[in-house]
Amino acid sequence: MMLTEKRKKMFLGGRWVEKDEVIHVYDPQDNAIITTVPKASEADILAAIEAAEEGVKIAGNMPVHERISIINKAADYVEEHRAIFAETIAREGSKTITEARGEVVRCINTLRLSAEEARRIIGETISFDQMPGHENRVGYYYRFPIGIIAAITPFNDPLNLVAHKVGPAIASGNAIIVKPASLTPLSGLLLAEAFEAAGLPEKVLSVVTGSGREIGDILVTHPSIRMVSFTGGMETGEKIAKKAGLKKLSMELGSNSPAIVLQDANIDDAVSSCVAGAFGAVGQNCIGVQRIFIETSQFNEFVRKFVKETKKYKTGNKKDETTDMGPLISKREAIRVEEWVNEALEENAILLTGGKRDDAFYTPTVLMNVAADARIATEEIFGPVVLLFEVENLTEAIEKANQVNYGLQAGIFTKDINLAFQAIQQLEVGGIMVNDSSDYRIDSMPFGGVKGSGLGREGVIYTIQEMTEPKVVHFNLG
């Protein structure tokens, strides 16, 4: 493992580069400085783009069997060094060591899926003779790589969300420049190391560390960049979309996901699924459960059991194997969450448990009686806070669930297939989980949202489709 020596460097077109200007990387648990990474300048981004301009030719000419072999070797590398990958995720971010190990397993799977899907990038024949006068013509389309991809990633899954862009990009013959979140750049750099060790030709991949606000514009507006693949907050996504111009956009943004619990639901299952979905990764999860709508006849029992389960959640040291929940990503974020909760409490919300902050830690918090138009009910809290609402029936639950400018995923708990189908048809989201919370995902399913939750879909083969374009070929046989 070489990262210890390379840690102060970024991966620019296949070379490890150091800079005088640096970004400090902190452990949010105790504010200890872990290390520094270079603070890239605009000139560094231009150098990465220049390298990618050559890299894209190399990547496009790489036979599919070589792409498969390289991605699988990168997955082997992550697997072999999984302990250090997990420690890095747990150290630079919010996740407990147990959650971090889970992310490493998912990253290996994402890479292996990418290798597998590389052989399935297929086209179709086209019946040109469906139009009178077009007889004696044959043809087909195939998918070709889109070109250079700028990938910008958030802090909350610092490894797997980078793998979700790099794996499919390489599988489909593109060059890619990753700009990881400045709070958690180390996991992405480790992934670059895995691809270097796997023999990925230089210039195909860069992982450039630097401030999004300072170097983001040059990266997303440069004419050589053919696609911007962004995962992060809605505000940043909107800014990027306005600036990017005429290029492909993939926008994986946030949400304040709903779960609906109907009167026939298994309450114990609904409670345990929603508690895990609300507080996993300290609630810093784009599909985390934020709003739960419960039918009147179940409301009191659900509230009692939900609060009881929440109180069992153990907050503390991320490295401790028994800890359920670590700190938020920063003290600043914990203060913001505290402010949003206090604002709701001033407007007559009732605090059922939690609501206490200690530095970057915030206790798992359950609120009821929150006004429908409160900031905490309409925006994304991205913290360990969940709101419980009593509703008369499914129709009211769906109407309230849809009353926000987000729509990533939703959960519904019921045994009634007709009611489940009503929710499937009427909820404005990219995915519905029946008898599970919104926080359910495997890395090979289409993943993405509607409304303010984004544009396009990820999920390896779906990402590959976004990262390739169909080219039509037609023969006039005379």
Residue 212 binds ligand NAP (CB under 6 A): yes
Q: With CB under 6 A as the rule, give the number of residues binding ligand NAP.
A: 30
How far apart CA 42 and CA 294 sit, in angstroms, is 51
How far apart CA 439 and CA 426 sit, in angstroms, is 19
Site string for ligand NAP, 372-411 (x = CB under 6 A): --------x-x-------------------------x---
* Segment contacting ligand NAP by CB under 6 A, of 30-38, 141-149, 252-260, 348-356: 252-260
Cα Rg of the chain (Å, integer): 23
Please identify which residue in 188, 254, 280, 383 interacts with ligand NAP, judged by CB under 6 A. Answer: 254
Q: Are 251 and 241 in contact (CB under 8 A)?
A: yes
Please identify which residue in 8, 82, 143, 239 interacts with ligand NAP, judged by CB under 6 A. Answer: 239
Please identify which of the residues 92, 286, 380, 458 carries the catalytic annotation.
286
Residue 110 binds ligand NAP (CB under 6 A): no
For the question of residue 107 being annotated catalytic, the response is no
For the question of residue 5 being annotated catalytic, the response is no
Contacts of 63 by beta carbon, 8 Å cutoff, 6+ apart: none
Q: Which DSSP state fits 459?
A: S
Lookup: tokens for 141: 């389309």
Place of tokens 């605090």: 351
Residues paired with residue 404 on neighbouring β-strands, in sequence order:
none
Lookup: tokens for 40: 């890239």
Please identify which of the residues 99, 103, 117, 252 carries the catalytic annotation.
252
How far apart CA 214 and CA 22 sit, in angstroms, is 13
* Segment contacting ligand NAP by CB under 6 A, of 46-54, 194-202, 231-239, 370-378: 231-239
Residue 253 binds ligand NAP (CB under 6 A): yes
Q: Are 114 and 168 in contact (CB under 8 A)?
A: yes
Place of tokens 């729509």: 407
How far apart CA 317 and CA 335 sit, in angstroms, is 19
Between helix 417-426 and helix 394-401 the angle, nearest 10°, is 20
Rounded to the nearest whole angstrom, what is the least distance from the CB of residue 79 to ligand NAP in the complex? 23
Rounded to the nearest whole angstrom, what is the least distance from the CB of residue 48 to ligand NAP in the complex? 14
> Of residues 142-161, which lie at the interface with ligand NAP (CB under 6 A)?
152-157, 161
How far apart CA 16 and CA 8 sit, in angstroms, is 9
Please identify which residue in 29, 174, 236, 273 interacts with ligand NAP, judged by CB under 6 A. Answer: 236
Please identify which residue in 117, 196, 252, 436 interacts with ligand NAP, judged by CB under 6 A. Answer: 252
> Of residues 163-182, which lie at the interface with ligand NAP (CB under 6 A)?
179, 181-182
Q: Which residues are catalytic?
A: 252, 286
Q: Which residues sit at the interface with ligand NAP, rule CB under 6 A?
A: 152-157, 161, 179, 181-183, 211-213, 216, 220, 231-233, 236, 239-240, 252-254, 286, 380, 382, 408, 454
